[in-house]
Amino acid sequence: MSPGTPGTRGTSFRRIHAALHLLAAAVELATPESEGWIAQMVAPSADDAGWVYLRMTRSVPTVLQA
């Protein structure tokens, strides 16, 4: 399906893609600047759906002491 072509539910891929960008931006801006978090977006072109992932780029290993 090409951008601008309505999906099976009548929403164009372009509109879904733009909405996912807005959501990813809101998630990115809501995370603390001191943290190494990245909001990533996935929008398959053939579906009327997409995903926004929040990924930690830096993590500190947890050390348990017995």
Burial string for 24-59 (b: 16+ CB within 10 Å, else e) reads beebeeeeeeeeebebebebeeeebebebeeeeeee
At residue 1, the pLDDT reads 44
Closest to 20 measured CA to CA, from 58, 47, 59, 56: 47
Amino acid at 21: H
Which is more confidently placed, 3 or 50? 50
Q: How confident is the model at residue 10 (pLDDT cuts 50, 70, 90)?
A: confident
pTM value is: 0.58
Domain ranges for the chain: 13-56
Which H or E element spans position 52?
strand 51-56
Task: List pLDDT tens digits, range 16-65.
Answer: 888 888 988 888 888 887 877 777 787 776 666 777 877 766 555 555 55
Q: Looking at residues 2-17, what average pLDDT do you find? A: 66
